[in-house]
């Protein structure tokens, strides 16, 4: 009896279902572990995060379009990692814009610097935050900010978003991108609650149940 498609052999269907079930099992186990133990993804995972398929699943255009990025804007990326999305955003704000790429691991920032050198992109400023997530940038420096599958792995997501709120100008936008297979995936309502508690106002949402980008605005106090 065929399970997936009448033209596929049964052995192939069984293998596919086995791998699907295995992936689901791993995700569930990781979510349980991550619920009790929050830590940033190690720097040696950088190559995995930069795999080409990553941006097919979570395209940078969702962030760029959601924030309405254009030349001259100053943007903060929270948890830039090896720069998977940083370089695309930096290109979107050329020639006069700048991206402040923030991470708490020097190893991740070093990987980003190597990519900047290879691609000849100079409008990115790597910024090392401390273990508490304090970001050494001045208040109201940014027109926009974003984070891709980062906030859920922070032990105090509201505090992290308060840092984002501090860095944004009044009227500035923040975009949070999430993917369901991420072990730290927060539901939309959870992300909206965190942002509201941090002082951000919901503007719009992109995507669906498996991936989404929520955009928030910093209103005047």
CATH number for the domain harbouring residue 199: 3.40.50.150
Spatial distance between the Cα atoms of 29 and 7, rounded to a whole number of angstroms = 34
Chain segment 158-180, per-residue pLDDT in tens? 999 999 999 999 999 999 999 98
pLDDT at 198: 96
Chain segment 54-100, per-residue pLDDT in tens? 788 899 999 999 999 999 999 999 999 999 999 999 999 999 999 99
Burial class (CB in 10 A: 0-12, 13-18, 19+), 143: buried
In the block, residue with structure tokens 């254009």: 70
23 and 52: one domain?
A: no
User: How many distinct structural domains can be found in the chain?
Assistant: 2
135 and 28: one domain?
A: no
- The residue ranking higher by pLDDT, 199 or 35, is 199
Confidence band (pLDDT; 50, 70, 90) for 13?
Answer: low
60 and 165: one domain?
A: yes
85 and 65: one domain?
A: yes
65 and 10: one domain?
A: no
Chain segment 111-133, per-residue pLDDT in tens? 999 999 999 999 999 999 986 77
30 and 58: one domain?
A: no
123 and 146: one domain?
A: yes
Residues in contact with 17: Cβ distance below 8 Å, sequence separation at least 6, in sequence order = 3, 4
pLDDT at 183: 83
User: What whole-number percentage of the chain has pLDDT above 90?
Assistant: 65
151 and 186: one domain?
A: yes
pLDDT at 3 exceeding the cut of 70: no
Spatial distance between the Cα atoms of 212 and 175, rounded to a whole number of angstroms = 10
84 and 20: one domain?
A: no
27 and 123: one domain?
A: no
Q: What global pTM score does this model have?
A: 0.80
pLDDT at 44 exceeding the cut of 60: no
List the Cα angle 104/109/115 in 5-degree steps: 155
- How high does pLDDT run on average in the chain? 86
Spatial distance between the Cα atoms of 221 and 215, rounded to a whole number of angstroms = 19
Q: Domain range holding 200? A: 43-218
């Amino acid at each position: 009896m065929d399970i997936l498609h009448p033209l596929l052999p049964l052995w192939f269907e069984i293998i596919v279902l086995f791998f699907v079930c295995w992936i689901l099992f791993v995700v569930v186990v990781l979510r349980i572990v991550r619920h009790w133990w929050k830590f940033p993804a190690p720097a040696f995972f950088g190559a995995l995060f930069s795999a080409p398929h990553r941006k097919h699943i979570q395209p940078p255009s969702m962030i760029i379009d959601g924030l309405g990025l254009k030349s001259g804007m100053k943007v903060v990326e929270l948890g830039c990692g090896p720069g998977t999305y940083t370089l695309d955003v930096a290109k979107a704000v050329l020639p006069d814009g700048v991206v402040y790429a923030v991470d708490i691991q020097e190893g991740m920032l070093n990987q980003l610097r190597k990519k900047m050198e290879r691609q000849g992109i100079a409008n990115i400023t790597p910024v090392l935050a401390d273990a508490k997530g304090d970001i050494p940038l001045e208040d109201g420096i940014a027109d926009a900010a974003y984070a891709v599958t980062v906030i859920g792995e922070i032990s105090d997501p509201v505090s992290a978003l308060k840092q984002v709120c501090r860095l944004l100008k009044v009227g500035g936008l923040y975009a949070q991108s999430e993917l369901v297979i991420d072990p730290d995936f927060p539901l939309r309502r959870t992300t909206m609650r965190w942002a509201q508690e941090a002082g951000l106002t919901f503007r719009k949402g992109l995507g669906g149940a498996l991936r989404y980008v929520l955009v928030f605005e910093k209103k005047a106090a």
